[in-house]
Chains A and B, each alone.
Chain A
Amino acid sequence: MDLDARYLLCPMPVIRVSSVIGRMAAGDTLTVHCTDPGALHDIPAWCRLEGHEVVETRTEPSGDIVIVIRAGG
């Protein structure tokens, strides 16, 4: 599943992730697109607390930040 959180300031990307991931099955992946570099810290921190796994973090040539999360149980 994909989530467009571009142009949202922190902590909105985390809030969006939490509402989407809550509806996903364990093991499913969510690809989040953001522009606020604060998300690079917040999303992994929130995932650690909630038991989800960040499987990939990359910055696209456009500057967009992409974070791939595998939902925990």
Chain B
Amino acid sequence: MENRKRQAIVLLSGGLDSLLAARLMLDQGIHVEGINFFTGFCVEGHTHAIRRDRKDRAVRNNALHSAEQLGIRLHMIDVIDDYKDVVLNPRHGYGAHLNPCLDCKAFMVGRARSWLEEHGFDFIVTGEVLGQRPMSQRRDTFPVVARESGALDRLVRPLSARLLPPTLPEREGWVDRERLLGLSGRNRKPQIALARAYGFDYAQPAGGCCFLTDENYAHKLRDLWASRGARRYDFDDIMLLKIGRHLRPHPSFKLIIGREEGENRFLEGYRHRFAHLWATEHKGPLVLLQGDANETNLDLACAITARFGQGRSKARVRVAVGEPGGLTRERDVTPLPAHALAAEWYL
């Protein structure tokens, strides 16, 4: 029993730090598996969530790519429902936008701890670096994550371990503390040099690991709550906030306008839930209407739909209006003139 190979679960985000943290553990002969939590807000650059013309975006899921480079298993876990409480009621508040980073870290490490107990693993590893992020990666917040997650001293941060009190795996000699690192701060040169030494191909930091750090996304989420008069969301809400142009021409309704074929196709999946519009004789977007589909709102929505299609310069454009999952009516409308498209409608 004493000499058995120790097992660690690594929170693999797809970024460089967790990739290196996992690798440092593999170097010490630890059995490592990855865990990745899908909150619904994760940035996945290779999906319809990002337009096809954004060629700079990755073409793959970064966590899967990390696991492939490490040659380890990856457990991808849907935490969408449980994560709501983290977003809606963060004990430690938000960062710059709607990102509850400290609560989020504690939540994820806590879920990793439950997984570890269920699977008989020995400890948890993260790629956190002391002083790297203003909210969740500070000397005073590291213990908060360890405590609130219940991971306590079974939580190892190999990239900064030498600057932190020894954890159980270090004290027990499962992990050699001398071979861990003492990185701190926002300078990423040491990580980049290590990545090069290991020959890793990794995702460039894209601002944050989730849409909650994105100003525009946070604005759209706040607008959703305001329009409902309640801070709540479901899975489809937060997916749709990633897709298309969002316009609120009136407090009682909002339009989601596909920007290209892939987005239109994605939006098609919501035709059973929302009134939807499209031009029948010209190429253009599929438009979802969320909110009150009364005649006045539909008139404006039709004119906007025509505006965003290739018939925008025509005198009349035929627009179809589908009821949620039901009947379709067609009407001929005048495309909304460019000057009538108010800047403040854009979310």
Contact = CB atoms under 8 A, between A and B. Distances in A.
Interface stretch (B20-28, B74-82, B252-260, B290-298): B74-82
B38 interface: yes
A28 B61 CA distance: 26
Contacts of B49: 9
Which of B36, B46, B48 has the most C-beta atoms of chain A within 10 angstroms of its own C-beta? B46
Nearest to A44: B64
Interface residues of A, number: 21
Interface stretch (B86-94, B212-220, B261-269, B329-337): B261-269
Nearest to A62: B265
B242 A10 contact: no
Given A38-B46, A42-B64, A9 B265 contact: no
A14 interface: yes
A35 B76 contact: no
Contacts of A42: 46, 60-61, 64
A41 to B, nearest CB: 5
Given A38-B46, A41-B46, A12 B64 contact: no
A42 B74 CA distance: 12
B239 A45 contact: no
Contacts of B343: none
B269 A6 contact: yes
Given A10-B46, A14-B61, 8 more contacts: A9-B44, A11-B44, A14-B64, A15-B76, A37-B262, A38-B48, A45-B64, A49-B68
Interface of A: 6-7, 9-12, 14-15, 18, 35-38, 41-42, 45-46, 48-50, 63
